[in-house]
Amino acid sequence: MSRTVNGIDEIRALAGVDLGATEWMEITQDRVNTFADATDDHQWIHVDPARAAGGPFKGPIAHGYLTLSLLIPLFGQLLEIEGIGMAVNYGLNKVRFPAPVPVGAKIRLTGRVAGVEDVKGGVQATLDFTVEVEGSGKPACVAQTVYRFLS
């Protein structure tokens, strides 16, 4: 369920707020293959289902960086920001991939606004994100991201 804020002051007020969870998203072999083409990373554990079936994960898995890249569209399900000039992905403080995402699995994002601080022209928000895999006891990705929201 998405929350909407309007303007820099409402972003400031998000410090410490739990943003909840997104809907589940299925990770398909087609998405994995498209990511492999875009990044030129065609390792067999991602793109060769027959060979991957005999591998360590018993089937193909998503690239870790594919999982990380999905923070962008999933974050939009958690928070919509209006009334600003622009938003910039400023970077990442920490990223870990504790568990694989098997092709065919469903993932969702949970998020929390860890902090918001003033910067020239706006604010910088630090967000703690976790990508969960349906039915798994371990997250697929844990990341702390940094965004700048400018007037």
Local confidence pLDDT in tens for the 151 residues of the chain: 689 999 999 999 999 999 999 999 999 999 999 999 999 999 999 999 999 999 999 999 999 999 999 999 999 999 999 999 999 999 999 999 999 999 999 999 999 999 999 999 999 999 999 999 999 999 999 999 999 999 9
Domain range spanning residue 14?
A: 3-150
Question: How do beta strands 79-82 and 3-6 pair?
Answer: parallel
Work out how many domains the chain is built from and give that number: 1
CATH code assigned at 107:
3.10.129.10
Tokens of 115: 């902090």
Q: What are the DSSP calls for 103-136, one per residue?
A: TT-EEEEEEEEEEEEEETTEEEEEEEEEEEETT-
* pLDDT at position 1: 62
What is the per-residue pLDDT for 2? 85
**Residues 150, 89 contacting (CB under 8 angstroms):** no
